[in-house]
A and B are shown apart, each in its own frame.
Chain A
Amino acid sequence: DADVTQTPRNRITKTGKRIMLECSQTKGHDRMYWYRQDPGLGLRLIYYSFDVKDINKGEISDGYSVSRQAQAKFSLSLESAIPNQTALYFCATRDRESAEAFFGQGTRLTVV
């Protein structure tokens, strides 16, 4: 099983719909992240969390919200999806000791 698991892997949704992307990890790391990837823009940070009670906005948090339900679970929500939120979304964890980040396989979201 993957250390960082994202569900769903692919999703098509309509404009205005609420959608949740889920991430779970078995690494035991306290730090978790959500990024979106767009061609030519690299990965941009949406939200990050240092523990269950510590949630921080990233560079592009507008239109998104997150929930850290447990140390191992970090969900990203789009309250009212819009077409320019079509992107590849990645969840990651980070090892405090090694500083290395570990990524999930990504969720490809299309908003029509």
Chain B
Amino acid sequence: AQSVTQLGSHVSVSEGALVLLRCNYSSSVPPYLFWYVQYPNQGLQLLLKYTSAATLVKGINGFEAEFKKSETSFHLTKPSAHMRDAAEYFCAVSGTYAGGTSYGKLTFGQGTILTVHP
């Protein structure tokens, strides 16, 4: 079984401030981990992914995330928020291919809405 918990359904920051969106996962096999972003009235777009290579993963738009196995976490950060970062962010987990059918199931967290104030 696998699951994702995103801590904080809403996060509000000032423009230029650090962005930290928290994600903890549960997986019975080594996981693949993802962060997706959803802008208003749009589908989901991949920000970054962890697929068992480097534990610090860099994505698009200046975002990065660190896989910490001991903490079962994959928190998303950005050093300096921009107004255009305002969106909803989703963390997701799936099993690695070696894990069989769990690879096919991509399980999402509840989402975190990021608001950026001028």
Contacts and interface: CB of A to CB of B under 8 A. Distances in A.
Nearest to A100: B46
B18 interface: no
Contact of A94 (B43, B44, B45, B106): B106
Contacts of A92: 44, 106
A58 B105 CA distance: 8
A99 B51 contact: yes
Interface stretch (A12-20, A38-46, A61-69, A73-81): A38-46
A31 B49 CA distance: 18
Interface residues of A, number: 26
A56 B104 contact: yes
Residue with the highest number of chain B CB atoms closer than 10 Å, among A31, A41, A42, A104: A42
B9 A40 contact: yes
A99 B44 CA distance: 15
A94 B105 CA distance: 10
30 contacts: A33-B106, A40-B111, A42-B90, A42-B108, A42-B110, A43-B44, A44-B108, A45-B105, A45-B106, A45-B107, A48-B104, A56-B104, A90-B43, A90-B44, A98-B51, A99-B32, A99-B34, A99-B94, A99-B97, A100-B34, A100-B49, A101-B34, A101-B44, A101-B46, A101-B106, A103-B43, A103-B44, A105-B43, A106-B42, A106-B43
Interface of A: 4, 31, 33, 35, 40-45, 48, 50, 56, 58, 90, 92, 94, 96, 98-101, 103-106
